[in-house]
Structure 1
Amino acid sequence: MSENNAVKLPEVIVFAGPNGSGKTTITGMAKTVGEYINADDIKRTTLCTDIEAAQKAEELREKMISEKRDFTFETVLSTDRNLLLLKKAKEQGYFVRCIYVLTANADINVARVSARQAIGGHGVPEDKIRSRYSKALALIPQLVEVCDILHVYDNTKEPFRIFKKRKDVYFHWVNKYWDFEKISDLTGINEYEN
């Protein structure tokens, strides 16, 4: 039983952030719960299209919520679809935990996706990476509201936590890419414990 979820509510863990931020790398080092739902894995194992994989992943997430089962998933979170899913989970009694991974700018993400594709990984068109980057970061204030626990990591060079929400207490840590003002603009939070 997690100290942060002492009553042991059903739990969802989401790994979120723009394409090329390093979500999959971080996921390999972090705690997961229940079934791990990833559209990329579904596509790889079922040989379906991107759209079919996304639909199957969405159906699985909805099923987990309806059955009140723990689950983990990964998302770019550049539209409100999965944000609404997290809100629904919260309304149905879930403990919502998120690890959000980003970089200092979309150029880094474009370069990483290109490098990943060059070694056989999946690619994403540059225009989509750039538009999703902006859209994903713009949704962070709403994510702050819905999460019980939220960690935001700047993965520009190596993972560095710049923001933490634990219940209704907020912390921030600055680095050379993210100062207090940028973190506050990103999260919508202006008062911190540290």
Structure 2
Amino acid sequence: MKPSCIILAGPNGSGKSSIYEKLQPPGRFINADNIASSLNPSLPVNIKRVRAGRATVSLIDQMISSKDSFVFETTLSSSHSIDTMQKAKRAGFHVGLIYVILYRAEQNIERVRFRVKNGGHDIPTVDIIRRYKKSLDNLPKAVALSDEGVVIDNSEREPLFLAEFRRDGQITHKHIATDGETELHMRLNTIITNA
């Protein structure tokens, strides 16, 4: 059986960690935020983020080298996640994608503010907006690299599973509005259908 690399992706504040808890995908969970929170609390936040980022990259490389299954949480807003998927594929991994998004970036901003009020980590608003756009821009590449995946709209109280797809391009489940009801759902439909 092939080892698996599952990318748990979506903009900041989309609820990726909550979805992880619900789905419990197989493999070691690698999350830079968790690594950062385990570092010395007296370190400045920017130092912790850099160290956590380096530790995350190193841990992912170790998992790929040892052919151990892992789940990697990311905003999908940089080329690193796409590079990781390509590297895992070349190493013989089964690559999965769990993509979690909210209807508007403003919802992500609100959720991050709520998280901060409850003791969680902050993300600057400008970064949330930039990453929301970049994440959606990178989604077609991630879908194309995935052997299978699911797209989840987490805007409401309960997550809405919009689509499940397999490498052969077959959409095994689709619940995406196509009547112009929501611009986001139409964009996601196009991405999944054309990947």
Identify whether the pair has TM-score above 0.5, normalized to the shorter chain.
yes
Structure 2 residue aligned with 1:3: none
Alpha-carbon contact 2:10-2:75 (below 8 Å) kept: yes
Instruction: Using the TM superposition, give the Cα deviation of residue 61 of structure 1 relative to its aligned residue in structure 2, in angstroms.
Output: 0.2
Change (3 A) 1:92 1:106: same
- Which residue of structure 2 aligns with residue 23 of structure 1? 16
Superposed CA deviations along residues 70-115 of structure 1, whole A, max 9, x for unmatched, are 1112111101111111111011110011111001110100000011
1:87 partnered with 2:86? yes
For structure 1, the residue ranges without an aligned partner over 5 or more in a row are: 1-7
Report the equivalent of 1:36: 29
User: Please, which moves more after superposition, 102-111 or 30-39?
Assistant: 30-39
Distance in 1 (alpha carbons) for counterparts of 2:59 and 2:187: 36
Partner amino acid, structure 2, of 1:46 = L
1:1-194 correspondence to structure 2 within 5 Å: 8-47=1-40, 49-157=48-156, 158-168=158-168, 169-170=170-171, 171-175=173-177, 177=182, 181-185=186-190, 187=191, 189-190=193-194
Whole-angstrom CA distance in 2 between matches of 1:174 and 1:70 = 30
- Conserved? CA contact 1:19–1:133, under 8 Å: yes
Q: CA RMSD in A?
A: 1.8
Name whichever of 42-51 and 74-83 sits farther off: 42-51
Give 1:149 deviation, angstroms: 1.1
List structure 1 segments (4+ residues) > 4 angstroms apart after TM superposition.
none
1:172 shift after superposition? 2.5
Give the alignment's TM-score, normalised by structure 2. 0.87
Q: Contact between 1:172 and 1:183, CA under 8 Å: does it hold in 2?
A: no
SS at match of 2:38: helix
Structure 2: distance between partners of 1:180 and 1:101? 12
Between 35-44 and 173-182, report the one with greater CA deviation: 173-182
- Matched residue count: 183
Post-superposition Cα deviations, 1:106-162, rounded to whole Å, max 9, x if no partner, equal 010000001110111101000000000000011111011111111000111131111
* Deviation, structure 1 residue 11: 0.8
The 1:62–1:190 alpha-carbon spacing in structure 2 relative to 1, beyond 3 Å, is closer
Q: Distance in 2 between matches of 1:67 and 1:112?
A: 36
TM-score, normalised by the number of residues in structure 1: 0.88
The secondary structure found in structure 2 opposite 1:28 is helix
* One-letter amino acid of the counterpart of residue 172, structure 1: K
